[in-house]
Amino acid sequence: MAHLGENRYGKSRVRVMKVVRHETHHEMKEWNVRLLLHGDFETCFTEADNGKILPTDTMKNTVYWLARESQAATPETFGIELAGYLLANNSQVTKASVEIEEKSWEQLIVDGEAHPTTYKMGGPEVQTASVVIARGSEPQVSGGIDGLMILKTTKSAFVGYIKDKLTTLPESTDRIFGTRATVSWDFSEPVSDFEETRGQVLTALLKVFAEHDSLSVQHTLYDMAEAALAAAPAISKIKLTMPNLHCLLVDLSRFGQENPNQIFVPTDEPHGYIEAVIER
């Protein structure tokens, strides 16, 4: 009566740190890896036959082993190698996907200079990469960033929207605009300069966010994305998710005070959620 539909399995939260020890300095990366396999696993579900199951523990070991073998300096490259290895060595697998988060470790500044072997966490955001390889196809590669917290204290308005019987939001010509952005960009070609592209995209996004005369989150999101596409020729499209970090103007008139856009209450919930893909 029942039958198996779409399915996948793998290992999540495989953390690995790699230290490349140069004479003058170290390179250090901390990655959190998730691997998922699609393939011919039906008999495992329906007949308890584990003969085609690569244990998720072995997938974890594969991350450690490959981290040692690999020269990959970006999560995108490491993801391509990892997905490729799993496909090449497991004929029952038809598609492998890898997601990697890289923590924001930055070289610590001591006496005005970057210390060669010491690091400080530079922000809550993580750099991300996603690689999917279907057997016989080119890798589909995305780069991204999750949890980028940015905020501007002026040049943000929101007026002219629909009013109905449930509207209570006052129009504002100068509000706080904060967001915890999640971004991902798709590469046109599987082999690209991932590092350079990451820099181009983020620089463009941040510059537009700062300088934009925002008339809505949507308006700013679009112009940020458009600038990223213009700055990064290797990408075909970009997706931005920009939930509001609402900062509510406090009503101080109850205490006999004015509040000329000075005192706000930041809130986490509820929050607005705006998401869009911008393509060439």
Binding status of residue 191 toward its own copies by CB under 8 A: no
CA distance 184 to 59: 25
Closest CA to 90 of 18, 35, 169, 140: 35
Residues between 29 and 68 with contacts to its own copies, criterion CB under 8 A: 30, 34, 36, 41, 44-46, 48-58, 60-62, 64-65, 67-68
Residue of 18, 43, 52, 56 marked active site:
56
CA distance 155 to 257: 24
CB atoms within 10 A of CB 231: 18
Q: Please work out, in degrees rounded to the nearest 5, the angle formed at the alpha carbon of residue 52 by the alpha carbons of 55 and 81.
A: 60
CA distance 3 to 7: 11
CB of 127 to its own copies, least distance (A): 14
CB of 85 to its own copies, least distance (A): 10
| Choice from 132, 225, 231, 234 touching its own copies (CB under 8 A) | 225
Half-sphere exposure of 14 (CA within 13 A, CB side): 25
Residue found by looking up tokens 């230290």 in the block: 19
CA distance 60 to 176: 44
Q: Is 237 a catalytic residue?
A: no
Q: Which stretch binds its own copies (CB under 8 A): 5-13, 72-80, 94-102, 193-201?
A: 5-13
By three-state DSSP, how is residue 186 classified? strand
Binding status of residue 162 toward its own copies by CB under 8 A: yes
Binding status of residue 195 toward its own copies by CB under 8 A: no
Q: Is 11 a catalytic residue?
A: yes
Q: Which stretch binds its own copies (CB under 8 A): 73-81, 94-102, 163-171, 189-197?
A: 163-171
**Are 275 and 240 within 8 A, CB to CB?**
yes
Binding status of residue 82 toward its own copies by CB under 8 A: no
Eight-class DSSP state of 172: B
**Are 178 and 244 within 8 A, CB to CB?**
yes
| Choice from 120, 173, 191, 195 touching its own copies (CB under 8 A) | 120
CB of 191 to its own copies, least distance (A): 24
Binding status of residue 172 toward its own copies by CB under 8 A: no
State which residue, 135 or 280, has the beta carbon closest to its own copies: 280
Q: Is 52 a catalytic residue?
A: no
How many residues contact its own copies, by CB under 8 A?
Answer: 133
What residues are annotated to the active site? 11, 56, 246
